[in-house]
Amino acid sequence: MDEQAKPVDLESLATFQQDRVLMSSPTTGSTYVLGKLHGEQAIVHVQKTALDAETAGHLVKTGLEDVQVDLDNRPYFSAHARIRHTPTSPPDVILKLIWPATDTHIRKYSAQVREMIRETPELYEKVVVPYIESFPKERLEWVYNIMDGKKEADRVLFKDDHKEDGFLILPDLKWDGTTMSALYLTVLVNSPIRSKRDLKKSHIPLLKRIRAQVFRTAQKKYGVPPQSLRLFVHYQPSYYHFHVHVVHIQHEGLAGMTVGQAHMLDDIISLLELSSPEPAPTILSQMTFTYALGVEHGLYEALAAGQAENLQHTEEDGRMEKRSADAYDETPLGQKHART
């Protein structure tokens, strides 16, 4: 990769060669496009910016031009219009770029069928752990760059450099930085925790400090009170360095908040508090987690095969129990209650 090449400026983007659309959502106004930039695979995410509720009335009054009415049926009217641009106008779209994009990125952002997976602790050890360990350290280099202050330092809202119990808070790239009802922050921890499966009782103070600091930061920086925030963790996560998602409660249409994928931080803390003292395994490490997984995900084939095998064993055990019950029912009544 040409380290000197600038991926996000008008001159560079003009060289983007589109290959195909990976995924598009009319609900969020979001489209992922695969192509090439500077000779390497790139994914461009184009999304319409949200309308700021505070300025909507002003926009209607003075900020529109070329209004074209397409429905006139009193009391209902509908029209298309263009926004009149001024030096202070907000941007029309948000651009996000993954460059160079790997095959894993392409699979992740491609429209795909999803199926429900039941991940037992045994499947986690047999399938998920080797999958995580197969990734080179460079895969998380972008995370380490943030943690070390080499990248995005100007975006960090809070940072505690303690090696084990430290963490930082910064705006998530999915937020436009202005629409409070769509506020989205991310918390990255310093400790080498991969996912919630790795959490122990000794991590409870860290998780509680994260919760308290997020509340303080959101209130002080953006005026958003604690009761307006959702704090949750993904499983499976999109990358295996433990992080917490912080989203405004009014945020709508976020796929990452679906049942099975999003796990509330408060619930995780409670389960750790209910777990036996170390070194006993935690409840989280012993649970079976059920979640939707895309068929293009690197874990899908192995987990689906393991799930099918477990289901087969369960059905066989059920048939054996039924045969035992049937044999018992056929036993003469006197023998069933015979004393030994």
3-state secondary structure 58-70: HHHHHCEEEEEEE
User: Is residue 243 annotated as part of the catalytic site, yes or no?
Assistant: yes
Looking at per-residue pLDDT, the higher value among 6 and 180 belongs to 180
Q: Which of 105, 243, 245, 251 is catalytic?
A: 243
Reported as a pLDDT band with limits 50, 70 and 90, residue 171 is: very high
Supply 176's token pair: 């436009």
- Kindly report the average pLDDT of the chain as a whole number: 89
Does residue 8 surpass a pLDDT of 90?
no
- How many C-beta atoms surround the C-beta of residue 241 within 10 A? 19
Does residue 256 surpass a pLDDT of 60?
yes
What pLDDT is recorded for position 18?
A: 96
Does residue 22 surpass a pLDDT of 90?
yes
DSSP character at residue 285 = H
Looking at the DSSP assignment, which residues form a beta bridge with residue 263?
233
Helix (H, G, I), strand (E, B) or coil at 184: strand
What pLDDT is recorded for position 340?
A: 45
CB of 205 closer than 8 Å to CB of 269: no
pLDDT one-digit tens code per residue, 39-85: 999 999 998 887 777 778 888 888 888 899 999 988 989 999 988 88
Does residue 221 surpass a pLDDT of 90?
yes
DSSP character at residue 228 = G
Does residue 301 surpass a pLDDT of 60?
yes
Does residue 324 surpass a pLDDT of 60?
yes
pTM of the model: 0.80
What pLDDT is recorded for position 234?
A: 97
Contacts by 268-272, CB closer than 8 A, 24 or more apart: 268/196, 268/199, 268/207, 268/233, 269/204, 269/207, 269/208, 269/211, 272/199, 272/200, 272/201, 272/203, 272/204, 272/207
Using a pLDDT cut of 90, give the percent of the chain over it. 64
DSSP character at residue 196 = G
What pLDDT is recorded for position 27?
A: 76
CA distances from 196 to 232, 233, 317 (A): 11, 8, 31
Query: Which residue from 140, 43, 69, 117 is spatially nearest to 304, judged by alpha carbons?
Result: 117
Looking at per-residue pLDDT, the higher value among 28 and 147 belongs to 147
CA distances from 105 to 14, 41, 134, 223 (A): 22, 10, 16, 35
